[in-house]
Amino acid sequence: MRTEHDFLGEMNVPDDVYYGVQTMRALENFHITGNHLDPDFIHAMALVKKAAALANMKTGRLPKKIGAALVQAADEILAGKWLDQFPVDPIQGGAGTSVNMNMNEVLCNRALEILGQPKGRYDIVSPNNHANMAQSTNDVFPTSMKVCLILKGKKLNEALRALEAALLDKEEAFKDVIKMGRTHLQDAVPVTLGQEMGAYASAVHRGRKRIKRSLEGVHTINMGGTAVGTGLNAEPQYIRGVAKELSGLTGELFTTASNLIDMTNNTDGFAEVSSAMKCTALVLIKMANDFRLMASGPRCGLNELKLPARQPGSSIMPGKVNPVMAEVLDQACYQVIGNDLAVTFASENGQFELNVMEPVMAYNLFSAMQCLTNAIYAFIDKLLKGLEANRSQCQYWVNHSVGIITALLPHIGYEKASFLAREAYATKRPVRDIIREHHILTEEQMEHILSPWEMTTPGIAGAAWMEASQRKISG
C-alpha cells in the first residue's frame, strides 16, 4: 500500500494500481449501477487530456518533460492499456469530478513510472497541477462526452446504413410480391411487399440523417472555459489551441464555442442527440411490429412473411417458433426511449453556471447508442438476411379481399363498385367471380385493372390505358 492525501485527509491506496486517493473516495461513495466506465468514454477522455497536454506545452506552462510523459501515458490508454484502472461508477455526484480525477491520477502515476519515479509522487507530476492544467471537470467531462458520442455515432451510423441497405435488397427481391395493404388494421388496397420494404428503408435513412445532423452540434466544445466558462486559469493561446489539437487527434473538426459560459451550463445538444435516437427508435419499433404481424400464425395468422427460425418458441408448446429478433429490436428501442427520458430530466435540471447531472446523461446516451447499434446488427444478421415472402399466402389475401374494388372506381364508378363490395361481403365470394357473373368488365379489362402493376404503380402508361378503358366501358 501507499499513502496518498487530499484536503480531506489521508487514505491507503493499493500500490499496484494507477488511480489514487480521489478515485478511492469515489469507490467508497458511489455504488450505483455496478458498471464501470464505457471504454469508448475512457478513450475519448484520453484524447481530450492528450490534446490539453499538447496545447499546454505549446504555451510553455507545462514542462515538456512532464508533458511528454503525460502524452505517452495517454497514448497507452488509447492503445487499449490500463482500462481496468477506471473502476468508478458511471453515475455519480460531482458532475463527473470523480471520472476526471480518475483519469488525471492514472495519467500522472503512469507518467511518474515513465520518468522513473514511484507512484504517488504528486510533487513531481500532479493530477491537479499538470494533468488538469487549464482545465476543469466542467469543460473536460462534457467535451469527452462529445468525443465519445461522435465515436459511437459513427458505429451507429454504419449499423443504420447496413439496415437501410438490407431493406433495399428486400425491396428488390420482393418487388413482384403483391399483398394487401392495411389501414386501421383493416384491409385497404394492394401494395407490393417490395414497396413496404422500400418504405422501411426510407424511414431508416431519414432516422440515420437525423442522428447525423444532431451529432454535428456536439463538435462545438467548451474546453478552456474551465469552471464556469470564464476561462479562469486558461491562457487565450491554450483556449485557441486545445480545439485544434483535439481536431488533429480525432480527425473531426472541433471548434471552441463563441460563448463558453453558455456551452458550460447548457446541455441541449445532448438532449438533441438523445431525441434523434428516440425518433429513430420509434421508426424501428413500427417496422419490427409490422414484421411480427405479417409473420403471425403461421396457420391462424397473416402468414405473409417467413422469418428465420432462431430458437424453440415455447417450453410447453411443441413446434412453436417466435419472432424473437423482431421482439428484441422492440425491447432495445424501448430502452432507448427510456434513456431519452432520463437525459431529458437531467438536461432540464441544470442550475446557473453548470448542469451537474451530466454523468447520468453520459451513461444513458452511451448505453442507448450501444444498445441500438447491437440490436440493429442482430436484426439484420438473424432476421433480414434469411427473410422470405410467402408469395402464395400474400396472393390469397389479395384474391379474397374486397379492398381491390377501390382500383375499379375510375373505371366503373362508385355505385357499381359499392354493389360489388356489398355482394362480396354478403356471399364471401372473390370479387373477380362477381365481376364475371354480372359482366361488369371483360376478362382483358379486369386482368389489366387488377394487375399488380396497375394497382400499385401510378404512371402515364396506366393513366392512358385507364382513359381508353373508361371509353370502352361507357360505350
Q: Active-site positions?
A: 314
Helix (H, G, I), strand (E, B) or coil at 187: strand
Helix, strand, coil in percent for the chain, rounding step 5 = 65, 5, 30
C-beta of residue 138 within 8 angstroms of C-beta of residue 218? no
Residue 419's φ and ψ, nearest 5 degrees, are -60, -45
HSE-up of residue 67 (Cα within 13 Å, Cβ side): 16
The CA-atom distances, in angstroms, between 398 and each of 252, 304, 356, 443, 450 are 52, 11, 58, 18, 10
Reported residue count of the chain is 475
Q: Across-strand partners of 183?
A: 186
Q: Which of 450, 456, 327, 474 is nearest to 400 (CA)?
A: 450
| Residues 41, 103: Cα–Cα separation, whole Å | 11
Residues 310, 381 contacting (CB under 8 angstroms): no
Could you say which DSSP state residue 318 is in? T
Q: What is the spatial distance between Cα 412 and Cα 420, in angstroms, rounded to a whole number?
A: 10
